A and B are shown apart, each in its own frame.
Chain A
Amino acid sequence: MPDLLRYVGQPVARDDAVAKVTGTAQYTHDLAVPGMLHAAVVTSPHASARIVRIDTAAAEALPGVRTVLTGDGLCYQLGLYMQDKCILARETVRYQGEAVVAVAADTLDIANEACRRIEVEYEPLEGVFDPREAMRDSAPLVHPNLHTYAHMEGVFFPKKDSNIAHHQKVRKGSFDQAFADADVTLSASFYNPPVQHAPMETHATIAHALPGGSAEIWTSSQSPYTVRHLMSVAFDIPHADIRVHVPYVGGGFGGKAGLGLEPLAYVLSRAAKRPVKAVATREQEFNTLPSRQGLHSTIQIGASAAGDILAFKATYIWDAGAYADYGVNIGRAAAYAGAGPYAIDHCWIDSYVVYTHKVFGTAYRGFGHLEVLWGVERAIDMLARKLEIDPVAFRRRNLLKPGDTTITGEPFTPGHGSPATCLNAVADAIDWPAPCLPAPAGKVRGKGIAMLHKAPAMPTYTSCSAVIKLDEDGAADVLVSGVDYGQGTYTVLKQIAAEELKLDIDKVHVAWECDTAFTPYDWQTVASRFAYMGGNAVIEAAADCLQQIRHVAAQALDVSPDELVCEAGTVHPRGRSERSIEYKDLALGYSFPNGNSIGGPVIGHGRYIATGLTHLDPATGQGLPAQYWTYGAHAVEVEVDIETGEIEILSIVTSLDAGKVLNPKLAVGQVVGGVIQGVGSALWEGFRFDPDGRLLNPSFVDYKIPTAKDLPRETKQIFLENPQPGGPYGARGIAEHPMISVPSAIGNALHAALGIEFRELPLTYERILLAIREERADA
């Protein structure tokens, strides 16, 4: 019988709340370093062009300008999984918005004025903007030297003389035979546009290149150690000579993983011999920094008349844009998760990450999964209708259950949680399959349901660590290098540390600045893996502290360490609390009455590394890609105005098998926030390009994200707690998942309301209205 938990599972208030409501939380945007210069960039107006000439003379002559850089002298190739990026465009530009020239000046006004004085002459070249066209042999090559780029070997397979940065295959069983044997089949194509993360704090970095070749960096990033590592590789600087600070971060959602503005700020600083601050304008956040990749999906499913899915095939063509240093891993993850949470014996998936001359893609919350599940979960509904089976019953029949294997051959166990219970929970919550209440005149209503799943998509060796040091007063300081950019993990780690250390939670502090000089290693804060991995590392670090405490207390009390019990910040022999010693009298070492001292400062460390993961077989995709899976479902009810196409969401219910809810208040916050982000992807958000590849909506004026007035009438969150073996207190990650299948659930509800199949996102009022009119014209 486990002890009753004091803190884990409790709605503890955020650790960072006071700093954030008082405006004292300092973000990279707010920081300044003495002598700091300000950066500005000239971006390309062309999507594909040769740089003929750059004249920087007038800019350099402007008083206050300290340095002007072009790509010419910057022979660096950067990237996380694939080194395909330059700091500034060299010889050619590959997307409209790409940085071509950079200036550092005494003030931002001077830097901007200098940029206006720079002349760049371009020779426009043929561009390719649709990844399906980019796959043709005749397509212009976005990266003619693709075959020379360094990349993660054995995992990613760029194809020479093509625009294919990576091709991920999944092959299980015999698709062709099984599809031929199916009683009912479905083929459908779907599309997701590129979407922006739109964190409220745009990317920002201060870099200081120091004499002797070292560097100090302050940056709005999800990844202090990955920034350090990639900078080390790119500039051939020893790791220890690069110090990366990450203060408070104003949102990330994947867009601040990998490298951002750090290399640019660094080379400017190196040239100017002064610290340089680079802050993305909102337009650059949309148009120069990366977005979510677009996706073209084609899905074929075959089922028996009784409703068993027999065969599944998908072709996923990702619009990577001009660079795919992160995008290749999205193509990989989307393949191994690309058939949804269903038991499928015969599966064939091709996932191609394809370069085009457009702003490039990167990780965005639930990467790859919102996109492929838009198609999969719509297709499942469409097939259920062909079969004349209730779509919930059809899903229930085919969901993964113990004894099944996933499409990569991973056995599904009770430890995976229960997708079926997630489905049943949301179906019950919206009273499925009962019809909607009657809609007001001129409006129609419909209900829709969709499943979701995701595992952390990360290298097989992903690791992290934690250090806990005790203070003079017996309080504990927790040091980690995962970043809490709003998701609340530090609060959860504080709860876990307090629980494990048997210490009052007010005496546990998580350091709010990551600093690679002092806080211990963590790969990146992505993929909903920080609470899981960081939680385990903190548990081990706390155990290390307690072992040190017991070891010294045993000598002080002259008993065996095994007899000692830790409780409420004290340690005592079991059953003899009158002989207790407070942590504060052990934190720095113990002194006997005669002055003799033993022990020393208590510092515990803990670590965690992903275990048992394998690379996927290049030919078949078989292997173990997932440390754990989190399953869930959404149910929505919508109301559509058939005269205007306006859609109102009456309710969204979300269930997640969290394994263990570590902090219900934060968990609900994550789900509501994620669901509303999903509504944005569903209804409004998506890049629009002109025929020459220019982004038409790089601002909040033309690219609408949800506002307070777009709240659904009701949201509901349901958490299941089927424990995850190996998870801290049985927990799984839940941060990305709430947004994943919101678009598919809404698409399914729209079909129920209107009888129209929507295959493209976003489901704007305009698109809905045009579809209603087309339907009427046909009728």
Chain B
Amino acid sequence: MHTIRLTVNDRLEIVEVPAGMTLLELLRDRLYLTGTKRGCEIGECGACTVLLDQKPVLSCLVLAVEADGRDVRTIEGEIQDHRLSTLQRAFIDAGAIQCGFCTPGMIMAARGLLLRNPNPSDEEILEAIAGNLCRCTGYEAILAAIRAAAGGDRDA
């Protein structure tokens, strides 16, 4: 077992984890942050996307111990002061949600993009979410949502 210290959504967590535990398992099964979804566990669907030091990662492919000393942000950290972020609001307004299972990972991938590139082109948006599978929406509304949120206030 390893003791790790990490920040999750601005809160310090000190946890004991086995060497083989993934960040996804840590978030969902130990910290009960079930907003991050488990879709394939081999890094092919993007449902488990979170930010690690502000960069999107597939949490099913990151070991929990790799997050030691680092900053993790999940969908639960996207809401600030009980208010939806511009990005979350844009997903609602654009009709970018259907079953919702890909939505947390999709929003975190988009957040990662907007942090490094506040004004992405459509091509850059599509590239950034190309690893996040959505079976319901056909992506058009998701593209529209991220486009609408880009350039808006970061609210965080």
- Give the B-binding residues of A (Cβ under 8 A): 13-14, 16-27, 29-30, 197-202, 248-253, 281-282, 485-488, 665-666, 668-669, 672-677, 699-701, 705-709, 711, 715
Contact = CB atoms under 8 A, between A and B. Distances in A.
A200 B47 contact: yes
A253 to B, nearest CB: 7
Contact of A200 (B36, B84, B133): B133
Contacts of B28: 30
B23 interface: no
A710 to B, nearest CB: 8
A665 B95 contact: yes
Contact of B84 (A21, A486, A708, A711): A21
A486 B100 contact: yes
Nearest to A667: B95
Contacts of A485: 99
Contacts of A665: 95
Interface of B: 28, 33-42, 44-45, 47, 74-76, 78-79, 84, 88, 91-93, 95, 97-104, 107, 125-127, 129-143
A18 B139 contact: no
A672 B141 contact: yes
B138 A487 contact: no
A301 to B, nearest CB: 33
Contacts of A17: 91-92, 97
Given A23-B75, A201-B37, A699-B44, A675 B138 contact: yes
Given A251-B101, A700-B40, A708-B126, A672 B76 contact: no
Contacts of A715: 138, 140
A699 B42 CA distance: 9
A716 B148 CA distance: 20
A722 to B, nearest CB: 25
B54 to A, nearest CB: 18
Given A486-B99, A708-B129, A709-B126, A23 B76 contact: yes
Q: Max chain B CB contacts within 10 Å: which of A20, A248, A666, A701? A: A20
B104 A672 contact: no
Contact of B95 (A487, A669, A699, A711): A669
Nearest to A30: B34
A198 B104 CA distance: 18
Contacts of B47: 200
Given A16-B100, A29-B38, A708-B126, A673 B138 contact: yes
B16 to A, nearest CB: 16
Contacts of B45: 200, 282, 700
Contacts of B136: 200, 251, 486, 673
A709 B127 contact: yes
A17 B87 CA distance: 13
Nearest to B142: A708
A674 B103 CA distance: 18
Given A282-B45, A708-B132, A711-B126, A248 B100 contact: yes
Contacts of A201: 37, 39, 99, 101
Contacts of B93: 13
Contact of B41 (A16, A281, A709): A281
A20 B76 CA distance: 11
A251 B103 contact: no
Contacts of A250: 37, 99-101
A14 B98 CA distance: 9
Given A14-B95, A19-B100, A21-B84, A705 B138 contact: no
Contacts of A30: 28, 34
Given A666-B95, A715-B140, A251 B135 contact: yes
Given A282-B42, A700-B44, A709-B127, A23 B34 contact: yes
A210 to B, nearest CB: 25
B90 to A, nearest CB: 9
B134 A200 contact: yes
B92 A669 contact: no
User: 4 smallest A-B Cβ distances: which pairs?
Assistant: A23-B35, A250-B101, A486-B99, A20-B100
Contact of B74 (A21, A23, A25, A198): A23
A12 B78 CA distance: 24
A286 B87 CA distance: 33
Given A14-B95, A673-B136, A25 B44 contact: no
B95 A22 contact: no
B101 A707 contact: no
Contacts of B143: 708, 711
Nearest to B88: A21
Given A22-B76, A23-B34, A198-B133, 15 more contacts: A13-B95, A17-B91, A20-B103, A21-B91, A21-B107, A22-B75, A23-B33, A199-B99, A282-B42, A486-B100, A669-B141, A700-B45, A707-B131, A708-B143, A715-B138
B98 A486 contact: yes
Contacts of A25: 100
Contacts of B76: 22-23
B130 A708 contact: yes
A707 to B, nearest CB: 5
A137 B52 CA distance: 61
A23 B36 contact: yes
A24 B34 CA distance: 8
14 contacts: A13-B92, A13-B93, A21-B97, A21-B103, A23-B74, A200-B102, A200-B133, A250-B100, A282-B44, A486-B99, A669-B141, A676-B138, A699-B40, A708-B130
A404 B125 CA distance: 50
A24 B37 CA distance: 11
Contacts of A19: 100
Contacts of A669: 95, 98, 137, 141
Contact of B133 (A253, A672, A699, A705): A705
Contacts of B38: 29
B138 A711 contact: yes
Contacts of A13: 92-93, 95
Contacts of B40: 282, 699-700
A23 B42 contact: no
A21 B89 CA distance: 8
A200 B75 CA distance: 17
